[in-house]
Each structure stands twice: as structure tokens, then as C-alpha cells.
Amino acid sequence: MTRKFSMLRVHASIVSLIYITLVSILCATVPSEATRWKNPPVRNSRMNRFHDGELMDHGMAVNMTRMIGGDHVLRNDLFSTINRRRLASCSTLYPYVAIKTDAVGALADVQVVTVTVSGVNNPSARDWIGVMSPSNASSDICPNSAALYLQTGDTSALPLTCHYPVKFKFLESDPGYVPCSNPTCQQMVAGVCVIQTCSGSVSFRLINIRTDLTFVFFSGGLTSPCVITATAPLSFANPKSPLSAHIAAVDSTGTQMRVTWVSGSNIPQLVAYTGGTATSIITTFSPAQMCSQVANPAQDFGWHDPGYIHTAVLTGLTPSTSYSYYFGSAEAGWSKSTNFSTPPAVGASSVRAVIYGDMGKAERDNSTIHYSEPGSITVVDALAKRNDYDLIFHNGDISYATGFLVEWDSFLELITPIASKVAYMTTIGNHERNFPDGVSVYTKWDSGGECGVPYETYFPMPTPGRDKPWYSYASGPIHFTIMSTEHNWTAGSEQYNWLQADLAAVNRTVTPWIIFMGHRPAYSTYTAALDVLLGAPVDPNFPPQIEPLLLNGKVDFAVWGHVHNYERTCAVYNGTCLGLPTKDSAGFDTYNNAAYKAPVHAVIGTAGFVLSDPPTNNLPPWSLVRVKDYGYGYIQGDITHLNVQFVSATTGGVGDQFSFTR
């Protein structure tokens, strides 16, 4: 009897395999209209990229928006027609399947939810659970999604669904799933189980992204995903919650600070702080403000409603002082109270700053997302344990959302423990701005269609204007000049002229030190295969344009990102060392800038993205130190000394240290 039923199971498996093969073929060939999801209304019928009136029309050849049932629904018709394919139903292969969660009621702002799938008769290592939001987002298969992932530089395997999942996990992460360690008998014959099924569970850490969500069970892997079943929609208890505050300096006085946060409410909210209150100004962005010449993730399967971005300026503050604050409203709810510190005012005797680039985000629940940056959690957690810095500079490649807009929420939530405490100043990078839209300096696809809009909305800096993301800021004895390597930097351009004037105007009696920052480096020894996708680390046209500015302005220290390791140079100009540091008995390097020679350059692109191996052979004389480790630059400046360390976030040790004197 047992032998007969064993043979029956074998035959059933063969039949199932044939059926799965047929279904997979159908999944790739049967077309249909994909499920659509509603987007926020487009504020202007023109393709205005920036909502403050700077309109940039692109003369689209296809209809990018159309009205359906009175709502504005973003759509690139040509792209959708070619790309979208309907999934054949796989549910008949799983007559006993069920899915459930342990969530009770609406979701909190942060909540871990365990999802259990049971009744699976053919468990596979290719089975996965995706978090889809909104809950009516399309789970159809879209083969061309692979190209849209790749254009941002992400070469990992990701789901080819028509709407990007917030995150996902393979069920094999439950060690009992594939081997069916805890089988359930579904049918008995003469006391013998003839049909048994398997189960598995995975847990997700969810944050409040305002829109409802559902957990979808897929078979067929990532390239041919078939929907087996899904949970009922889950909503957040308060989609209007004020969340993810970060602080920025408004000017160099230390008497004003900007607080920016996200909420699902478009009604003005308050910041209540020690000594006063401030009312928020509200903004947001729509799909029509993204890049619009060609199909891109930000306008299509990567779009997610950003809610409303609130920003308020706190005034009447005292430099180098701690303040308590909370924000929100009676209508949306209130945040918890926390503290921030104002930075030292310009001309103060000392300041301490952290500098890094290329952070991004990763998931604390080990789920998979597009462009996961594994070191980001390590760096944030290391900095959260310190309280000995006055401000942070994030030098480009901020979130790596690159058109998958829900990941901005993930990034903002990740940095809250540090960005809500001190001024978090930013630089635009290639993954915020670049796209072949005729506006970017570099016409790669790095931003996934964002073209700087989410970045400038989430991180308002003291710049000259919209889409002019260069500025300067001073604290203590240091003047910081920040450029955009993604906007025109050639001689005579608006940015070039501004940089030249800014450096010329620095009062070296008040701020004896100048630190210059931009994302793409002027010096790096690194090369990689991804250069084909993202371009060479150093644009050969860049140093001849920028180096004369730095030399004439007597910039002490130039800091870059973009390359995912740490590297320090001599005092270098035009590829030639003009000055070497002196070493003490402990090997500590000192540059004597009383006899200024040229800037010292450092690449610090070590805050999260997968690290790059620095070369070890045929090194140019100007490359003095190279480190492969997650970490950050830590700077202490006073009137006579500028001390710099590269600190490992993994060990807390110092990977490099040097000093400038004058």
C-alpha cells in the first residue's frame, strides 16, 4: 500500500512539473492590461519638474498622463504596452494554500509582522513573499523591469513585477520550509497520508509608508513570478503620523535651524521647541515632476506616493546649545520629544564634523530591496553611539532610491537617530540627479528618473535656488564650500562663477580653514567594470577645470565620494605632488599649511555601498593611503589645527589620521 501511494506522489509530481512549465510559458506570453494604482494629482498640465515655478518642458512624444475616472493616473503608454504581461493563475497547483499574518488590527508606525504560508504541496527555493504597496498595485510580470533596475547600476537579481515590491524575502530563509520539516497531512487513505503539505514563515519590519499594503506569495522565482495567494490589505493606524525628522542649518550664525519631516497630512503642523514654536511649509512632488523623456522607474513601477514634506525654521536660537523639540498637530498626531544641538557659530574657536558619502539604506530585517547598501546600518549605529560631533555632511549618493521612491522613506527612517540630533547637511550625487534628459551634465541613468526632485524636496539646503544645489556654510573656524559635480562646472558657468566668488570672499582670519566638497572625485586610483554603466570614477575633464579654483582659493582639504573606499593624497596639483606631510615617531602625518602648496584630497565613499577594492600595484606617487572599510571622516578644527581621522564603523578604530597646521 505504501509503495503504491509513493508511486502516486511521484506521478503527481511529474504532472505538476509539466503543468508548472506550461504555466510559466503562459506567464510570459499572455498579455493584458495591468492593474493600475492612483497617484497624487498632477499640479500643472505642463511637465514641470520643480513645483516652485521653474518649468522644464521636454516635448514628450507619448502621452505621459491621462485621465481615468476623473483621477490623474501616470502612464507611459508605449512603455506599458510593450512591458506589461499578465500572470497566468498558479493557484490550481496549490489547492490547500493559505496565508496569514500575526498582525492584530492596524499597523503601528514601526512593527514587525510575521507572515506564514501553509498548504504548500511543492515548496521551492524560488518561492518568495513580497510586500506590495499600495495593496492594489500590480503584481503582474513585466520583463522589461530588469532593464530599469540595471540602468540605475543595480546588477542584482530583483523581482520582474509591474510594481516594485517594498521589500521581499525568500521562504527558504525559514530553514524548515524547503525540506518540509513540519508537514501537514491533507488527505489520508487507509491510515496512510497520501497528500501532505508544507509551511514556512518569514518576518518583516514595517515602517509607516502611509499607503496600505499586502503580503503576496509568489512562486516561479524573481524572473517568472506567479501570484499564488495574498493577505487581505493591512493599513497603518495613522497614515498622517509626523515622522523621520532631520535637522539642517539655515545659515552660519547658529541661531536658526530647519526641521524637515514627512506626514500623510497636507495641513500645516507645528514644531514646538524650547522657547518657541514654528509652523511648517508643505510641499510634495508628483510623477510628472520626474524625468520625462524616456521610461524610468520613478514614473512607472517604482513610483510611491511621498505624502507631504513639512519644513519649518526655528529662530531665536543660541549657538552650541541643546534644545528639546517635538512636531506634528492635533489632527495628525505628535512626535515624541527629542533633543537637537545647534552648531558653533562662524568664528567660534572650534568645531567637530563628520563627513561621508554613498550611504543608502539596508533593511534591519534582512529582507531584500533594490540597491541595498549593507554598511549603512553599521555606520548609522556607530554614529548614534557617539555624541562628540556638531554636524554631519553627507557628500552625495544619499538614499540610492534611484526611482524606487518608497526607499526614501526607508532611508529617512534609518538616519533619524543621528539626523534629528545635529545639522545634517547634504551634497547632490549622481544617483540623485543623473538621467539622459538633456539637463544633467552626465547622461547616464543613475537617478532612475528622479532628476534631483525628491532629493531637493527632502533636503532643503541653503542654496541659491531650485536645481542649483551648491552652497557654502561656516561653523567655528572652518568654511565649507559644497559644489554639485552633476551640474555644469566648466569655466564661465553659473556654478563655476559662484564657486570662484565664494572662495575669494572667505575671511581667513575668521575661518582659517577651507574644506571643499563634491561627490565625484578629482583624484582616485580606482577603476571597475561598472564604469561602463556609471562612468569612470574620475572625469578627465573635471580636474583641469576645478583644480585652479581650489589652488587659487587655497583650499586646505578637498573631500569627495562616489568611489566606495577611502583614499588620501599628498598636497597635489595637476597630478603632481607639491607637498608631502611630515611624519612623527608614531607615523602621524602633518601638512604644514603655513607654507601652502596645494589641496590635500580624500575620497570618503564608505558609508554604506558595497566596498571597492583599492588597487595595490602601479600606484601614482600622489596616492598615500588607501583603506577598504565602512566608516566616516571625523574632523576637529580649531584656529591653528585641522585634525582628520578616518574612523572604522565596524571596529571603532582609526584607519588613517593626519593634521593640517598653520
Predicted pLDDT at 245: 99
User: Which tens digit of pLDDT belongs to each residue from 65-83?
Assistant: 222 233 333 333 333 333 4
Helices 375-384/406-419 angle, 10° precision = 30
Q: Which residues of 419-453 are buried (b: 16+ CB within 10 A; e: fewer)?
A: bbbbbbbbbbbbbbbbbebebbbbebbbbbbbbbb
343-661: in CATH 3.60.21.10: yes
Per the document, the length of the chain is: 662
User: Which tens digit of pLDDT belongs to each residue from 363-380?
Assistant: 999 999 999 999 999 999
Q: Which residues contact 224 (CB under 8 A, 6 or more apart)?
A: 24, 27, 28, 141, 160
State how beta strands 589-592 and 582-583 pair: antiparallel
| SS3 of 406-454 | HHHHHHHHHHHHHHCCCEEEEECCHHHHCCCCCCCCCCCCCCCCCCCHH
User: Which tens digit of pLDDT belongs to each residue from 151-162?
Assistant: 888 888 999 999
Q: Is the pLDDT of residue 453 over 50?
A: yes
Three-state secondary-structure class, residue 633: strand
Amino acid at 115: V
User: Is the whole model's pTM more than 0.85, yes or no?
Assistant: yes
Q: What is the mean pLDDT of the chain?
A: 87
The domain locations on the chain are 2-30+87-230, 343-661
Predicted pLDDT at 534: 55
How far apart, in Å, do the first and last CA atoms of the chain sit?
92
Q: Is the peptide bond before 134 cis (omega within 30 degrees of 0)?
A: yes
User: Which tens digit of pLDDT belongs to each residue from 290-304?
Assistant: 987 777 899 988 999
Mean pLDDT of 424-439: 91
pLDDT band for position 573 (cuts 50, 70, 90): very high
Q: Which residue has the higher pLDDT, 652 or 37?
A: 652
Q: Is the pLDDT of residue 89 over 80?
A: no
Q: Is the pLDDT of residue 146 over 60?
A: yes
| SS3 of 87-148 | CCCCHHHCCCCEEEECCCCCECCEEEEEEEEEEECCCCCCCEEEEECCCCCCCCECCCHHHH
Provide the edge-to-edge strand list for the sheet that holds 110-120. 98-101, 110-120, 192-207, 184-189
Predicted pLDDT at 511: 99
DSSP 8-state assignment for residue 161: B
Do 591 and 579 contact (CB within 8 A), yes or no?
Answer: yes
Do 309 and 218 contact (CB within 8 A), yes or no?
Answer: no
Residue 589 burial (CB count, 10 A)? 20
pLDDT band for position 226 (cuts 50, 70, 90): very high
User: Which tens digit of pLDDT belongs to each residue from 418-431?
Assistant: 999 999 999 999 99
Predicted pLDDT at 529: 53
State how beta strands 478-482 and 513-517 pair: parallel
